Amino acid sequence: MKRMLCLLLAGLMLLAAAACTEGQIPHAETPAEPKGNEPIEVTAEPEPVEEHPTEEPVELQPIENPPIQPDEPIDGPIELTDPIPPVYEPTGEVPAVGGYGDFSNLLSAALLSGKENRNLSPISVYLALAMVAEGAKGDTQTELLKLLGCGSIEELRGVCAGMLETFSIDEERSTLDIHNSLWMADRIGGQQVSFHPEYLNTLADSYRSEANVVEFGTQSASKQIADWINRHTRGKINVSPNALNFDPSTLAVLINTIYLKDGWSESFDESSTETGTFYGYDGEKDVDYMRRFDRNSSVRFGDGWVAYRVYLNRVGYMTFVLPDEGVSLEKLLGSPDAIDKLLHQGVDKKYDVSIKIPKFKFRDKMELTSVLSALGLSLSFTPAADFSGMSDTPCCIDSVIQESYIGVDENGVEAAAYTMISMRATSFNPVQLERLDFHLTRPFFYAIESFDGTVLFIGTVTNPGAGE
């Protein structure tokens, strides 16, 4: 009986095995291990995903004027009228070192309206203010550092020292020359004044500044300062001593000068210069246009403007920004961000470019006191200012002026500027002496002596009108 049960169970197992073999689905082969960094292939069908086409760069339509062939005369400008989208793309260029870039944009936006000829040297203002900041303390120094874009006086000092080192070029065809000076009173209202040696040493070491003692309020002081400015701007700015009327309460004057002269990397042929019409805000005017043809050159487009760089031999380049037709220059300016976009942003495209630039030169003079006050120097122009790092005599900034020159012709560009900051004593107690009237209303004696006391002329006067 037991034997029969075993046989029956074995038969059932054989039948079940046969049924499983007939309906079996073959196993998929196990994929091989990926070798190295090869990706694992996914065999399953992915779910459909909506594809976004890659954004292609905007295709520029052909310009209306065909490119000028080498043997063709340059008889007019190529009008760059292609539709450019209002998209700004950073070029990756750094405008300046430290906080100077922001300061330059801020000051330029405040002073350039686009309504008239203007010429500004932001770096000259920056260096002059930095020398003032070296003598400031407390909140006065804090507001100066904030405007100049530096977190500490040591950082500002390093930025300025770097500028003076970098921007010093003295070659046969290229010059970039920067000078600083401090002019000091030794007496105000009969009282002796002095300047801290640490301050004088810092200006000499980090700012390459010379120091001079003068008597403000005299023609001699005005002439010395005027001569210094004229000499270091290479005669491009001719300051008259009569224009420098310093108040006797002036404690110090700090001056920066900058002079630049450089030729174009590719010169303009004077024989190609022609007279043409310039359409200004005040009407049409005939001017001399320099002309040149550049092949395969970058032209930069922005929203309402086009920019082109003309390179110099050594100093760098000159950027020219042309508003689109119907767009005023005033509309493109007005903010630090707008200035930065015009100089450093936009979309670059390659063209063969016909250049036509008017020759120009002019002088400019700006009083910067109110502008700098509006930009954050709320203490520096008031008696509450603290410039105790400069002198123990209380003082504040009295005035800030800049005068400049720029000239552009076939040979290159020449520019010069000076920035002068006058410091006024705000509190001093002149010694009050007993008054004495010395009136020569009766016969008197006189002598004319040399510096060593030698009598050159001597005499008496009893009748002043006798020889008339």
- List the CATH number of the domain containing 238: 3.30.497.10
Residue 206, pLDDT > 90, answer yes
257 and 282, same structural domain?
A: no
Average pLDDT in the 400-428 region?
A: 92
Report yes or no on whether pTM surpasses 0.85: no
Torsion of CA 154, 156, 158, 161, to 10 degrees: -130
Examine residue 164 and state whether it is found in any structural domain, yes or no.
yes
Average pLDDT in the 195-216 region?
A: 96
Examine residue 436 and state whether it is found in any structural domain, yes or no.
no
Domain boundary among 318, 339, 358: 358
370 and 348, same structural domain?
A: no
Residue 19, pLDDT > 70, answer no
193 and 131, same structural domain?
A: yes
Q: Look up residue 340 and give its amino acid.
A: D
Q: What are phi and psi of 224, to 5 degrees?
A: -60, -45
- List the CATH number of the domain containing 299: 2.30.39.10
229 and 108, same structural domain?
A: yes
Distance of CA 194 to the CA centre of its chain: 34
CB 386 within 8 A of CB 140: yes
Measured at the CA of 79, the angle between CA 76 and CA 81, to 5 degrees, comes to: 170
387 and 352, same structural domain?
A: no
pLDDT, tens digit, for every residue of 232-261? 999 999 999 988 989 889 999 999 999 999
Examine residue 72 and state whether it is found in any structural domain, yes or no.
no
- Using the CB atoms, write b or e for 354-392: b if 16+ within 10 Å: bbbbeeeeebbebebbebbbebebebbbeeebbbbbbbe
373 and 335, same structural domain?
A: no
Examine residue 26 and state whether it is found in any structural domain, yes or no.
no
Chain mean pLDDT for the chain: 79
Torsion of CA 368, 328, 62, 272, to 10 degrees: -70
Number of structural domains in the chain? 2
- Show Cβ contacts of residue 14 under 8 Å, excluding neighbours closer than 6 positions: none
Examine residue 208 and state whether it is found in any structural domain, yes or no.
yes
For 104, the domain range is 100-261+362-425
139 and 231, same structural domain?
A: yes
pLDDT, tens digit, for every residue of 149-193? 999 999 999 999 999 998 899 998 899 999 999 999 999 988 899
Examine residue 20 and state whether it is found in any structural domain, yes or no.
no
367 and 338, same structural domain?
A: no
420 and 275, same structural domain?
A: no
Examine residue 221 and state whether it is found in any structural domain, yes or no.
yes
140 and 209, same structural domain?
A: yes
